[in-house]
Structure 1
Amino acid sequence: MKEVPYIVDTNWLAERLDDPYLRILDATTFMAIPENGGSPTIQSGRDSYEEGHIKGAVFADLINDFSDPESSLPFTVPSRQQFISKMTELGVGDDTYTVIYDQGAMVGDPVIAAYWASRLAWQMRYEGFEHIAVLEGGLPKWKEEGRPVTTEVADYPAASFTGERRPELLATKEDVKRAMDDDNIVLINSLSPEDFRGETETYSRKGHIPSSVNVFFGVHADQATRKVHEDQVLRKTFEQAGALDSGKKVITYCGGGIAATWNALMLNKLGQENVAVYDGSMNEWTSDPSCPLVTGK
């Protein structure tokens, strides 16, 4: 099976829609923030998928199929057996390559598209799947360009899969604790600067993990065109964080292990392969009083 780029544009995908080895996954999930404040709620994107999607796309349910149903935290990785079973049911396996997209991160706000797609792409790589691309700009960009959508549900035969899990791509709370005092590991907080500095009420405790640096995941794409910035721009951002230094390992984190995967994807795109995602992120860290936090810059 041929290699595919980490990120592909709409032209790349449009030229391959009829490829029998292609699998397109719609990973749409929405986050809704109450108008009067409070904790955000998460909604499945299945209804939006059924209202219109790219030809050949099947719906990948991040909430119900690709998260651990026994976890007290949202969106932690499920068992390997569950993940592989659900993925191969969608027709994804050894003889296919995959393009993943979503419809935007927030209800009514499609500006940041690929946020959820990068989460599923990271999970697939963690379990040993290969040949995975994320669609730049997602469905919003596809539709803005006048490209067709359909309500017809694709159906693929179940696939076989023989890949092996890559545990080095996932970081635990204990890994992060050790990383705080390890000069060879760069901890990247992927949240907004306000969250990083502890100026918001988003989490039960404010601030960021000691020694971590802030690289907001929302700065990597043009908000008007939805195009990911050129590599030289991305490289400058991550060089300032020390994430591209030779021999360094990077651990990315955010609120719940979603935005962190977008930063991880950008680093992979730049050639930094030694990147792990802290799956529990701030949801887990702030719930444990023994885990330290600092505020300010």
Structure 2
Amino acid sequence: MTATTPHPPLTVSPEWLHQHLDDADLVVVDATAHLRVPTDGPAVLTSGAETYRPEHIPGAVFADLLVDFADPDAPQPFTAPDHERFVAAAGALGIGDGATVVVYDQHDGFWATRFWWHLRYEGFEHVTVLDGGLPAWKAAGYEVTDVVPEPTPRTFTGTRRPELFRSTRDIADALDDEQTVLVNVLDEPTYRGEVDTYPRRGHIPGSINLPVFTLRDPETGTLRPTEELRREFEAVGLLDDDRTVVTYCGGGIAATGVAHALALVGRDDIAVYDGSMNPWAGDPELPLVTGDSPR
């Protein structure tokens, strides 16, 4: 084993991970959850634990975003827990001082970016995302395993960064703030209020629409070239350092995908509305609008 892993960029390739897989300080994390949306009922969320066990990257531990890294008393799933609960769960997986973390998931990458964002929110910076996740790893010809490792616990001493988090009250209080840009990352029909995905249709007033799925190559699931992303973000004013950018989606997961892509081009200060449309659309007192983006 090598002594230390060089501090990686915000996303790494399967080749990079394969090269460093035996580094002593490297912690590989599968952060998968599964979201199934039936045509005639509510969405169904399940842990990725059962699909992790038979097939994962060698040495990878599993982070349960539905249980261990969520507030058990919150009305919405995936709500960020208190700092102490997060620290205990992370440390038990070997995530902490002296570690470098590579996080991936088994499909679209947004569970991975959720955990990337959450680690940074709790003050841990040595974290990167495997571009394309497990599908890219397998496509590159690298092995998977069913051997579940025994983590070596670490002490986690990060300090929470509240500027990366927004609550429903925070969003409501900033509706008239011209220096805050709200970015809805859902598909256009949902953003415009053309489908019944949530208790009420539409988007938060003043939001622009930037669908997160457009940031990835549909064939490979990997991110588009950085310069392409930069041009797209510049076109909608998201690289203006004088403005605060907050991303949101349906439940606070896909929103982290845009936050991660923005970090790749230099905006590593993006906040995420935890909960997103689930609590907002569920409160009839909070405003929603339909139609096109104001940009």
Q: TM class, shorter-chain normalised?
A: over 0.9
Out of 49, 67, 72, which is 1:69 matched to? 72
Instruction: Report if aligned partners of 1:179, 1:187 keep a CA contact under 8 Å in 2.
Output: no
Q: Which residue of 2 aligns with 1:236?
A: 231
Q: Describe the superposition over 1:138-179 as per-residue Cα deviations: whole angstroms up to 9, x where unpaired.
A: 001111222100111112221012210101100111221233
Q: Describe the superposition over 1:50-95 as per-residue Cα deviations: whole angstroms up to 9, x where unpaired.
A: 1110011001111111111101111110121111101100011111
**Are 1:30 and 2:31 matched, yes or no?**
no
Q: Which residue of 2 aligns with 1:156?
A: 151
Q: Which residue of 2 aligns with 1:15?
A: 19
Instruction: Report if aligned partners of 2:166, 2:274 keep a CA contact under 8 Å in 1.
Output: yes
Instruction: Report if aligned partners of 2:110, 2:254 keep a CA contact under 8 Å in 1.
Output: yes
- Please identify, of 123-132 and 155-164, the stretch whose mean Cα deviation from structure 2 is larger: 155-164
Percent identical: 46
Q: Which residue of 2 aligns with 1:59?
A: 62
Q: Which residue of 2 aligns with 1:47?
A: 50
- Counterpart CA distance in 1 for 2:250 and 2:180 is 20
Q: CA deviation at 1:183?
A: 1.5
- Counterpart CA distance in 1 for 2:29 and 2:15 is 17
Q: Which residue of 1 aligns with 2:10?
A: 6
Out of 165, 169, 194, which is 2:160 matched to? 165
Structure 2 length-normalised TM: 0.95
**Are 1:130 and 2:134 matched, yes or no?**
no
- Counterpart CA distance in 2 for 1:289 and 1:5 is 42
Q: Which residue of 2 aligns with 1:188?
A: 183
Instruction: Report if aligned partners of 1:119, 1:262 keep a CA contact under 8 Å in 2.
Output: yes
Q: Which amino acid aligns with 2:8?
A: V
Q: Which residue of 2 aligns with 1:90?
A: 93
Structure 2 counterpart SS, 1:18: coil
Q: Which amino acid aligns with 1:117?
A: A
- Counterpart CA distance in 1 for 2:178 and 2:31 is 36
Instruction: Report if aligned partners of 1:215, 1:237 keep a CA contact under 8 Å in 2.
Output: no
- Counterpart CA distance in 2 for 1:141 and 1:236 is 25
Q: Which residue of 1 aligns with 2:102?
A: 99
- Counterpart CA distance in 1 for 2:104 and 2:209 is 26
- Counterpart CA distance in 1 for 2:229 and 2:97 is 31
- Please identify, of 37-46 and 64-73, the stretch whose mean Cα deviation from structure 2 is larger: 37-46
Instruction: Report if aligned partners of 2:90, 2:156 keep a CA contact under 8 Å in 1.
Output: no
Q: Which amino acid aligns with 1:247?
A: D
**Are 1:175 and 2:175 matched, yes or no?**
no
Q: Which amino acid aligns with 2:214?
A: V
Point out where structure 2 has 5 or more consecutive residues left out of the alignment.
Answer: none
Q: Which residue of 2 aligns with 1:139?
A: 134
Q: Which residue of 1 aligns with 2:219?
A: 224
Point out where structure 1 has 5 or more consecutive residues left out of the alignment.
Answer: 105-111
Q: Which amino acid aligns with 2:224?
A: H
- Please identify, of 164-173 and 221-230, the stretch whose mean Cα deviation from structure 2 is larger: 221-230
Q: Which amino acid aligns with 1:4?
A: P
Q: Which residue of 2 aligns with 1:79?
A: 82
- Counterpart CA distance in 1 for 2:193 and 2:234 is 24
RMSD in angstroms over aligned alpha carbons? 1.1
Q: Which residue of 2 aligns with 1:108?
A: none
Q: CA deviation at 1:280?
A: 1.8
Q: Which amino acid aligns with 1:29?
A: A
Q: CA deviation at 1:133?
A: 0.4
Q: CA deviation at 1:132?
A: 0.3
Q: CA deviation at 1:48?
A: 0.8
Q: Which amino acid aligns with 2:267?
A: Q
